[in-house]
Amino acid sequence: MARIDDYKKALEIGKEEISNKNPLHLCRLSGGQFIEKANKPDSIQIMFLNRMVNISWPDLIFYQDSDKEIKIKEKILILHYLNNAKKEDLTGELIAYQEIPSARFYLSSFNARSRDPFIAAFGENPDKLPVVAQELFAAQIASMGDVSVTIQAFPKVPITFIIWRGDEEFPPNGTILFDSSIKDNLLSAEDISELVSMIVYPLIAKAQ
């Protein structure tokens, strides 16, 4: 498990990398907005898990309208997304986690931390999924499996959560899919695993 010093170092590396970029170009690539104000610091705005996050420019201080704290792991993910954003659009082709480069090294952890708890929470009562996902993350209803939703984690990172109901022969099952454009290194396999866990656990808690 990473220590807090490791997270702090990762945060500083992300800030250093982004400080050398043109914020207007960066926002065009990532789907964010660069807000220029006459009497206040400029800022980058980016939607993250249905929350508008602001990052002041050039001092890179994170803030949002609500009083909810932006955790250090969330800041790191946001910086990684912004730093890696490219001009490519979404493909509409969905892939599983293991199809992401290097994901095989994290697959067992991804399944244990996210996929399996997701199935356990919603497999017996899948109709709860769209209710809590829309409330927490403004999810859109998808058309896969028996029940499915797509959550826009970042402007260019939709994640689809799918449940199949069980029957007399088979237990409930489910999966989590990503637009194939995520393979263009928008986020690393480790980052994606962390991001999905940030969605799954609030969903589970809300459904209880």
In angstroms and rounded to an integer, the radius of gyration of the C-alpha atoms of the chain is 18
What the block records as the tokens of 133 is 């996902």
What average pLDDT score do residues 104-128 get? 96
Domain that holds residue 76: 4-84
Q: Which residues pair with 108 in a beta bridge?
A: none
Q: What share of the chain is helix, strand, coil (3-state, %, to 5)?
A: 45, 25, 30
pLDDT at 57: 93
pLDDT, greater one: 141 or 38: 141
- DSSP-derived secondary structure letter, 180: G
Residue 1: is its pLDDT beyond 50?
A: no
**Contact call for residues 153 and 49 (beta carbons, < 8 A):** yes
- Find the helix or strand (DSSP H, E) in which 161 lies: strand 157-164
In a shared domain, residues 69 and 142? no
In a shared domain, residues 119 and 137? yes
Please name which of 19, 22, 56, 20 lies closest in space to residue 36, comparing C-alpha atoms: 56
In a shared domain, residues 27 and 109? no
State how far the Cα of 94 lies from the Cα of 203, in Å rounded to an integer: 22
In a shared domain, residues 129 and 34? no
Within-domain flag for 89: no
What average pLDDT score do residues 83-110 get? 93
In a shared domain, residues 99 and 198? yes
Domain termination residue (choose one: 84, 118, 138): 84
In a shared domain, residues 118 and 175? yes
Domain termination residue (choose one: 84, 104, 139): 84
Give the total number of structural domains in the chain: 2
In a shared domain, residues 157 and 54? no
State how far the Cα of 174 lies from the Cα of 188, in Å rounded to an integer: 23
pTM (2 d.p.): 0.93
Task: Report the SS3 class of residue 63.
Answer: strand
Give the tens place of pLDDT for each residue, 140-174: 999 999 999 999 999 999 999 999 998 888 999 99
Residue 62: is its pLDDT beyond 80?
A: yes
